[in-house]
């Protein structure tokens, strides 16, 4: 039956930034589909853990400061998942930050911090997970891109650069790893009602201009990513490689 392809029974997923927002919603979606979940965050994971465990799935809380993470740190994270939950089948690179300032005033620190978490840590964690997945001949890596993987935006130079980079390394990893049984794809959320967009939603003029461009007529919610992440994590997407999937209420069509 076609719905069986979407089941994640006996799978193990690692979700970064799982403490709230998009990461929490995706962790819960994977658990609802049958997966056990490891959540990585510097924020408390108690709520996510309780909701995953209420579904009868295991939850492994992990803490790592991605702002200071190096390759050996990412390898340790993957080892903790495999030791704690028995395997690693799915990696969701969701953790990210944003800093806002005009291009002429943007600081070097804000450039480096965003690039470290949004791009370097994504690559290093995918690399560490890839070693495990190649050995087992299968695996799903799902990166979280952005509308700014397609567009330039304003006042977010490092975020735009990092999310453009996420789209690029998603395609590169798909090119290199598909033959080993891995699927590497990305989700590009549109304008979502999360902490990252709180300043935009608080600006009445900017919020109105954004909503006017979204054909769906509303901001996205974390739950809007749940179906897409289960699809990309499941056997239903086994012939999808290097795709950047917009979940944007139609933003890019305008």
List active site positions. Answer: 159
- DSSP-assigned letter for residue 197: G
- What's the rounded Cα separation, in Å, for the pair 230 and 236? 9
C-beta separation of 90 from 133 below 8 A: no
- What's the rounded Cα separation, in Å, for the pair 237 and 225? 15
C-beta separation of 51 from 117 below 8 A: no
Strand order in the sheet with 182-189: 59-62, 36-40, 12-16, 90-93, 139-144, 182-189, 244-247
Of 226, 218, 237, whose CA–CA distance to 23 is shortest? 226
Tell me the C-alpha to C-alpha distance, in Å, between residue 42 and each of 10, 19, 87, 96.
Answer: 27, 8, 23, 12
In degrees rounded to 5, what are phi and psi of residue 34? 120, 0
């Amino acid at each position: 039956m076609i719905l069986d392809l979407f089941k994640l029974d006996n799978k193990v997923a690692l979700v970064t930034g799982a403490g709230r927002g998009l990461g929490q919603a995706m962790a819960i979606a994977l658990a609802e589909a049958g997966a056990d979940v490891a959540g990585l965050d510097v924020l408390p994971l108690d709520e996510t853990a309780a909701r995953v465990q209420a579904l009868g799935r295991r939850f492994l809380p992990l803490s790592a400061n991605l702002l200071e993470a190096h390759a050996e740190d990412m390898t340790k994270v993957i080892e903790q998942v495999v030791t704690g939950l028995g395997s690693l089948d799915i990696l969701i690179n969701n953790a990210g930050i944003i800093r806002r300032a005009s291009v002429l005033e943007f600081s070097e620190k804000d450039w480096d911090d965003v690039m470290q978490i949004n791009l370097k840590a994504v690559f290093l964690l995918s690399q560490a997970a890839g070693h495990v997945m190649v050995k087992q001949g299968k695996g799903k890596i799902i990166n979280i891109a952005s509308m700014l993987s397609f567009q330039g935006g304003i006042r977010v130079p490092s975020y735009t650069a990092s999310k453009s980079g996420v789209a690029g390394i998603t395609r590169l990893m798909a090119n290199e790893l598909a033959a080993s049984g891995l699927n590497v794809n990305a989700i590009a959320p549109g304008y979502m009602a999360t902490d990252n967009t709180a300043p935009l939603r608080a600006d009445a003029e900017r919020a109105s201009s954004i909503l006017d461009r979204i054909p769906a007529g509303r901001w996205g919610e974390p739950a809007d990513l749940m179906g897409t992440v289960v699809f990309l994590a499941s056997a239903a997407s086994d012939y999808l490689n290097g795709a950047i999937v917009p979940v944007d209420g139609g933003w890019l069509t305008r």
